Copies of this chain bind each other. A is one copy, B any other.
Amino acid sequence: MSLPISNIPIPAILEIRENVIQDLEKILIKHQFKRVGVLFDSFTFEHYKIKVESSCTSVKITTYEMQADLDIHALTDFAFDLERYDAIVAIGGGAIIDYGKYIAHIRRVPFISMPTSASNDGFASSNCSLIINEKKTTVPAKIPYGIIADLSIIKNAPTSMLLAGVGDLMSNITALYDWDFEEKHGVATVNHFAAMLSKKAVNSFIRTPMEDLTRPIFLKELVSSLTMGGIATVISGNSAPISGSEHLISHALDKHAEKPQMHGLQVGIATYIMANVQNHRAERMM
């Protein structure tokens, strides 16, 4: 007898291109979603709600503007107040994506992730960060059924967000080093396929010219590499392929710094520090 080949779930929708928001209904129809709940944060509700509603004529769309800083109890109540949808879509930044991922998880409904920035890899991963007892906590969440990233929207995000995305992606390098180190010391088991995805994601990105952060080719490389890192976590079943000691530094900053910065920015700096500690590829990151 042998162990079975693993079967890994992969996103059934993976659309990373300009103006893909216009094709939302077409995509929903292709996947047989007829009644869909769409979650917005305040910003995306103001800017994209009408666009989304007016672009969907045969699919029945119900929109929700979610408040900031909801904790897990508020999200649980919200989730079970919702009627039954064929899918839940979240459009916006990291927080609203995390809301949608948890809500879809506890209602067991397909989740579609529509990030409007590329500031971290959360839009493709299977965990989210929620407030429990007033503390940010990493929580299992729905594996995205679909990822729809509109590069025309993402390129308008503030530069700091793109840089944060770069930081979060670069951390794959130190995270993989740590994972390997942990396996050698008997406290972890590397999933080689997940590690390969994470490594190819960052390697493919690392030499892309970065003079102009709004060039479609740069954005597509960034977003698709963040996506592949996120999928690596789905495959390994944990965050090890993209999160190591550099993330621990960032978590510590979140707790103790007076003014914590954006996740990806903190992670990016910590990655450079840890790469020096590991004495591994630090010069590549300059």
| Chain A residues within CB distance 8 Å of chain B | 1-15, 31-33, 72-73, 76-77, 80, 86-87, 105-108, 110, 132-133, 137, 139-140, 143, 145, 189, 192-193, 196-197, 199-201, 203-204, 207, 221, 224-225, 227-228, 231, 235
CA distance A235 to B10 in the complex (A): 10
Nearest-CB distance from A23 to chain B (Å)?
13
Contacts of A2 in B (CB 8 A): 31-33, 86-87, 110, 145
Q: Are A9 and B1 in contact (CB under 8 A)?
A: no
Nearest-CB distance from A82 to chain B (Å)?
12
CA distance A227 to B189 in the complex (A): 21
CA distance A107 to B86 in the complex (A): 24
Nearest-CB distance from A191 to chain B (Å)?
9
Partner of A228, one of B7, B143, B196, B207: B196
Contacts of A196 in B (CB 8 A): 14, 224, 227-228
Nearest-CB distance from A5 to chain B (Å)?
5
Partner of A7, one of B9, B133, B199: B9
CA distance A32 to B204 in the complex (A): 35
Q: Are B9 and A3 in contact (CB under 8 A)?
A: no
Contacts of A132 in B (CB 8 A): 76-77, 80
Contacts of A204 in B (CB 8 A): 199-200, 203-204
Nearest B residue to A13 by beta-carbon distance? B192
Partner of A207, one of B8, B12, B73, B207: B207
Q: Are A189 and B32 in contact (CB under 8 A)?
A: no
CA distance A31 to B2 in the complex (A): 6
Besides A13-B192, A105-B105, 9 other CB < 8 A contacts? A3-B12, A3-B31, A5-B11, A77-B133, A107-B140, A193-B231, A200-B200, A200-B204, A203-B204
Contacts of A140 in B (CB 8 A): 106-108
Contacts of A77 in B (CB 8 A): 132-133
Closest 10 CB pairs of A and B: A108-B140, A7-B7, A14-B192, A203-B204, A204-B204, A200-B204, A200-B200, A5-B9, A207-B207, A10-B193
